[in-house]
Structure 1
Amino acid sequence: MATPVKILILVFVMLLFCKGDCQCFPKDIEIVQSKTGAIVQQKPEWKVTINKNCPCVILNLSLVCPGFQTVEPIDPSVMQKQGDGCLLNRGEPVTEPISFSYAWDDSYPFKIDPGFQTACS
């Protein structure tokens, strides 16, 4: 796990090599969900993939997820429930799609929390 100092150094180095501003907006991040076909404790399993459709590195990416529940454990290095939010990738830089699965009766209507930061890749 990267320490906050390592993350700050990474962001600083990325900013040194940036050419112009790099911005990503919530509309640039796509959430795709689908049933996997698996059943976990009598509940359908859902696969979630978060794709970023911008050239930036994203930090502190979270989903808005009040009331989210699952009977299937999710790897905390991928997604951690924190109050009404679900922190992705432990807040560390996101450069590739992120995926996780959960099991519940219905799919959950995840939304991107607009409070993330961006840096040039």
Structure 2
Amino acid sequence: MATLVKTLTLVFVMLLVGQGNCQCSPQDIEIVQSQTGATVQQKPEWKVTINKKCNCTIENVNLVCPGFQTVETIDPSVLQIQGDKCLLNGGQAITQAISFSYAWDNSYPFKVDPNFTIACS
């Protein structure tokens, strides 16, 4: 009986530890922007890099982007503008930093939509 209790306790602790490594929140997604120095149609170009700072797989990440405008074409597999939201990486898992550039008068204040899928790996 003592062995069973020890085994169940060990399994329970392992499950908690495993879940602890798979906690992602919008604060774990870092958005960094900087001017590239280039201009496109007389507008400054901005480079955006998005990186996750957690050890889980995240999918279906959207940025909240109402009114976002650019005169530079963005690869839709990287950033797909869908109304007031911008889908990153085609909804696929983000495994490394994602970057794109856009050109507009000012930088856009991108924010992460908190409704994304988290999967433990």
What residue in structure 2 maps to residue 58 of structure 1?
58
- Is contact 1:23–1:119 with CA below 8 Å preserved after alignment? no
Q: Deviations over 1:8-53 (max 9, x none)?
A: xxxxxxxxxxx72212000111100000000000000000000100
- Aligned-residue offset at 1:89: 0.4
Percentage identity across paired residues of the two chains: 74
What residue in structure 1 maps to residue 18 of structure 2?
20
TM-score (structure 2 length as normaliser)? 0.83
Q: When you count helix as a share of all residues, which structure comes out higher?
A: 2
Q: Secondary structure at the match of 1:20?
A: helix
Amino acid across the alignment from 1:92: Q
- Is contact 1:59–1:118 with CA below 8 Å preserved after alignment? yes
Q: Does 1:29 align with 2:18?
A: no
Q: CA RMSD in A?
A: 0.9
* Structure 2 spans left out of the alignment, 5+ residues: 1-16
* Structure 1 spans left out of the alignment, 5+ residues: 1-18
**Matched positions, count:** 103
Matches within 5 A, 1:77-96: 77-96=77-96
